[in-house]
Chains A and B, each alone.
Chain A
Amino acid sequence: MSTLLIIFYFLSAITLATAFLTIISKNPIHSAIYLVICFFSVAGHYLLFNAQFLAIVHIIVYSGAIMVLFLFTIMLMNLNKEGEPHKKIATKLAAVISFGLVCFVMLAVFIKAMPKMETYRTSGQDFQSIKVLGKVLLNEYMVPFEFASVLLLVAMMGVVLLSKKEKTIQ
């Protein structure tokens, strides 16, 4: 147990440190690289929970796709200039409050999910395996799951539309 605890503290230290460095560092590419390290240590936390699938998918989606595109964009647009225009205090405050609310929602989700987790634990089912996960996602949570994909599709269409519009103006 103690080794797990040591790993947990180690990963937490990395997560928090790199998260702060992401915000603090002046160079956008350094910022992005710190964020990548942060995502990796979060994947490590998932592994500590024995959530293998979640950890690997987290790496594929966040580190492997989103952050690669981020770095790609920063490199392509040559945003190497250090420092950026500072936002107003009110904007920063609003951002902090809205993120705090998101945390609140997440906490509520976890608390609501607790009894469900207990039923899996008592029945001895391996709730981390992809088979169980897939069945739950496509049976009990079918509608939210499909709505999430619709949301992604709408976002994608919106981006395509925005980029097309800019071109016609030019």
Chain B
Amino acid sequence: MDSAFIIEKSVVILVVFALTMIMAMYSTWAERKVAAFLQDRVGPNRAGWGGLLQPLADGLKLFSKEEFSPNTPNKFLFVVGPAIAMSTALMTSAVIPWGDKLHLFGRDILLQATDIDNALLYIFAVVSVGVYGIMIGGWASNNKFSLMGAVRAASQMVSYEVAMGLSMIALLMMTGTLSLREISAQQAGMNWNVFYQPVSFLIFLICAFAETNRTPFDLAECESELIGGYHTEYSSMKMGFYLFAEYANMFISSAILAVLFFGGYNYPGMQWMVENVGVNTANILGFLALFIKICGFIFFYMWVRWTIPRFRYDQLMHLGWKVLIPLAILNIMVTGICLLLFK
């Protein structure tokens, strides 16, 4: 392992980290702006032009607020909860291909932190671990409402992970690989997976909403029943971590949706650009294409939040176990038959 490789990877990791953080920051701003737009209001407009400095002001506020901790015998776990939530939210970005490659300093630089064979499984592993942050935090708060929120979050995530995994199997049968880079490369030239696997995409989208605890699946923190859900007892930057982790998760799951189903960094005419304009320009444009797709999904998340009311708890379980899982299994069967007939 030469030092140039280590420097290259460190730079890529730092850039991805910074990008995730900045996107999570500005998602909070965008959420308020979108909410304002949908409700015919103005939204934050005091700090900076169009309220662009609002996330910084919010961050400053969260950092400088009083640190309150409840009377709990589990002080350590109370701190560990938000830490797990935040680190798992950031870990997923390691395997996402942000672009094809850049040719700089006589080296081909892959725009990806690591290209492992089992990238998709890695994402599932990290997502399934993410629920610990909520569970441990909610339990260590020593509060009934927090515990209720944590238990709800756990059962919701476990139920929807099953449907998510099954919907992925149909996609994997088609792509034949778990590497996100290869999946992206296969979708070159408008050969997007969403056209071949619309049902799989739909199930994955619904499960992504459930996994990120967004409305209509935000039962873990529904204000009207559980005060604040699992982060009722948290204050200051610890609560900020939970909120921030949610936005980071939203960004990452939008990225995964774009990579798996919407062609990743591919855009129409990419091959032509690579041949005629140059590798670097074409791939920077590819990164921008992926970025636009991600922003589209983030907007979709916010749009849904202000459109669809929250599910009732039994409706949520019903949808997960009795609708999505059978649908996903049916989708696998149909995909298998189609593969046998047409390939």
Chain A residues within CB distance 8 Å of chain B: 29, 33, 36, 52-53, 56-57, 59-60, 63-65, 68-69, 71-72, 75-76, 129-130
Q: 7 A-B residue contacts at CB 8 Å?
A: A52-B116, A56-B125, A59-B128, A68-B157, A71-B132, A72-B158, A130-B118
Chain A residues contacting B127 (CB-CB under 8 Å) are 64
How far does the alpha carbon of A56 sit from the alpha carbon of B125 in the complex, in Å?
Answer: 6
Indicate whether B222 reaches chain A with its CB closer than 8 angstroms.
Answer: no
- Min Cβ gap B183→A in Å is 14
How far does the alpha carbon of A69 sit from the alpha carbon of B121 in the complex, in Å?
Answer: 20
Given contacts A64-B129, A130-B118, contact A71 B158 (CB under 8 A): no
Is B125's CB under 8 angstroms from A53's CB?
no
| Residue in A56, A63, A76, A129 with the greatest tally of chain B CB atoms within 10 Å | A56
Q: Which of B77, B118, B139, B147 is the one whose CB lies under 8 Å from A52?
A: B118
Cβ-closest 8 pairs across A and B: A64-B128, A59-B125, A72-B154, A56-B121, A60-B125, A56-B125, A56-B118, A53-B118
Is B121's CB under 8 angstroms from A57's CB?
yes
A-B residue pair count with CB separations less than 8 angstroms? 63
Indicate whether B151 reaches chain A with its CB closer than 8 angstroms.
Answer: yes
Residue-wise, chain B 114-125 has the 8 Å CB interface mask toward A (1 for contact) of 001110011011
Is B155's CB under 8 angstroms from A72's CB?
yes
Chain A residues contacting B117 (CB-CB under 8 Å) are 52-53, 129-130
Chain B residues contacting A130 (CB-CB under 8 Å) are 117-118, 178
Q: Assign chain B's interface to a size class.
A: 20 to 34
- Min Cβ gap B320→A in Å is 15
- Min Cβ gap B136→A in Å is 7
Indicate whether B30 reaches chain A with its CB closer than 8 angstroms.
Answer: no
Is B122's CB under 8 angstroms from A56's CB?
yes
Is B155's CB under 8 angstroms from A59's CB?
no
Is B118's CB under 8 angstroms from A68's CB?
no
Chain B residues contacting A71 (CB-CB under 8 Å) are 132, 135, 139, 154
How far does the alpha carbon of A76 sit from the alpha carbon of B153 in the complex, in Å?
Answer: 12
Which residue in chain B gives the minimum CB-CB distance to A129? B117
Is B136's CB under 8 angstroms from A33's CB?
yes
Which residue in chain A gives the minimum CB-CB distance to B136? A33
Which residue in chain B gives the minimum CB-CB distance to A43? B125
Is B132's CB under 8 angstroms from A68's CB?
yes
Chain A residues contacting B135 (CB-CB under 8 Å) are 68, 71-72, 75
- Min Cβ gap B324→A in Å is 17
Q: Which of B116, B122, B154 is the one whose CB lies under 8 Å from A68?
A: B154
Given contacts A52-B117, A129-B117, contact A72 B132 (CB under 8 A): no
